[in-house]
């Protein structure tokens, strides 16, 4: 979290794995908020009852009666029916219950949203922002699927995580031999390991930048991408931005035209032309 260096407050949407008290505390410390899915065995506490009469000795209780969060589905109190704010869903009505309860891992009140979806079943969301309503919490968490889809495209279409940089001086380790302890190695060896890790980071960052440029082409030059796609799809929806795979196919089909027309003026085209062997690949003979 500290490496993000976010200048403005934001909502961090994460899956159920990140629903921990330590992460919520760290997010709140930086002025941000976390939206995630609560675990099925999540336990919460009501606020303690207010003391009446003469004050008693000792610190007043911070937590009240404990209850399993999933058991709150049994109650029909304070349940409202709203139109599903999830993208792509129309005319779908869901049951929602919003309740602010104490969560011991965070040590403070957390807003829990219990959702009973007619098709997706029951699921529980949690948000550290008590001012955000249930509809927006559900809508923001629904956008997480697009993030997961972006990772999938980065892995399978772009290969942004398929890095294989070998270090010649790396000491061989047996299978399941454990980790290497860098503080036992020489400064030169540690510097080479850092250089290798830096290569990993640069490779992944280049993949992320490439994916962003493909999103730009898909959103701002949709018609040109479909015109250069040159392949078959059962349904091409007019006005819908193509996927990264469609953009990659279009760029691959127009690469030779780009090199043939711009190899004298464009630096990238000249760089590719100087390093390609036209004898080994027939399409490069046309480009040359």
131 and 152 within one domain:
no
Check: CB of residue 94 under 8 Å from CB of residue 76: no
Where residue 262 falls among pLDDT bands split at 50, 70, 90? confident
99 and 29 within one domain:
yes
**Per-residue pLDDT at 4 exceeds 70:** no
Cα–Cα distance between 122 and 38 in angstroms, integer?
A: 12
Sign of CA dihedral 246, 248, 253, 258: positive
Q: For the residues 270-288, what does the mean pLDDT come to?
A: 67
Better pLDDT: 157 or 8:
157
Q: What is the pLDDT of residues 10-62, one digit of tens each?
A: 898 988 888 888 888 888 888 899 999 998 899 999 988 877 767 777 788 88
Check: CB of residue 99 under 8 Å from CB of residue 152: no
Query: What predicted TM-score, i.e. pTM, was given to this entire model?
Result: 0.67
Residue-level pLDDT at 286: 55
Q: What is the pLDDT of residues 107-142, one digit of tens each?
A: 899 999 999 999 989 999 999 999 999 999 999 999
What value, to the nearest 5°, has the Cα angle with vertex 43 and ends 38 and 45?
Answer: 115
For residue 162, what are the domain limits? 144-172+181-220
* Domain presence at residue 58: no
Mark which of 92, 124, 142 sits at the end of a domain.
142
Q: What is the pLDDT of residues 56-103, one digit of tens each?
A: 777 888 888 999 999 999 887 789 999 999 888 888 999 999 999 999
115 and 148 within one domain:
no
153 and 133 within one domain:
no
Number of domains in the chain: 3
Among 208, 193, 194, residue whose Cα is nearest residue 161? 208
Residues 6+ positions from 11 with CB-CB distance below 8 Å? 32, 33, 34, 35, 129, 132, 140
117 and 239 within one domain:
no
Radius of gyration, CA atoms only, the chain: 27
Residues 6+ positions from 170 with CB-CB distance below 8 Å? 193, 196
The DSSP 8-state label assigned to residue 53 in this structure reads S
């Amino acid at each position: 979290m500290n490496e993000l260096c976010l200048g403005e407050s934001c909502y961090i949407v994460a899956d159920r794995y990140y629903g921990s008290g330590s992460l919520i505390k760290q997010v709140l410390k930086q002025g941000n908020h976390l939206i995630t899915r609560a675990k099925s065995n999540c336990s919460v506490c009501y606020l303690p009852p207010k003391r009446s009469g003469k004050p008693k000795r000792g610190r007043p209780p911070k937590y009240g009666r404990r209850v399993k969060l999933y058991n709150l589905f049994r109650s029909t109190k304070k349940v409202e029916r709203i139109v599903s704010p999830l993208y792509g869903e129309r005319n779908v009505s869901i049951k929602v219950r919003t309740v602010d309860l104490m969560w011991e891992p965070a040590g403070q009140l957390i807003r829990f949203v219990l959702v009973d979806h007619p098709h997706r079943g029951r699921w529980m969301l949690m948000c550290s922002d008590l001012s955000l309503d249930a509809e927006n919490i559900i809508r923001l968490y629904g956008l997480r699927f697009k993030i997961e889809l972006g990772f999938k495209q980065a892995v399978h279409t772009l290969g942004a995580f398929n890095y294989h940089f070998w270090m010649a001086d790396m000491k061989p380790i047996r299978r399941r031999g454990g980790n290497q302890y860098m503080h036992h190695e020489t400064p030169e060896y540690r510097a080479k390991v850092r250089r290798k890790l830096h290569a990993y980071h640069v490779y992944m960052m280049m993949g992320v930048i490439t994916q962003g440029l493909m999103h730009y082409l898909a959103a701002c030059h949709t018609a040109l991408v479909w015109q250069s796609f040159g392949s078959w799809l059962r349904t091409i929806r007019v006005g819908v931005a193509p996927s990264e795979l469609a953009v990659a196919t279009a760029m691959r089909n127009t690469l030779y035209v780009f090199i043939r027309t711009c190899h004298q003026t464009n630096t990238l085209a000249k760089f590719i032309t100087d390093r390609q062997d036209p004898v080994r690949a027939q399409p490069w003979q046309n480009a040359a």
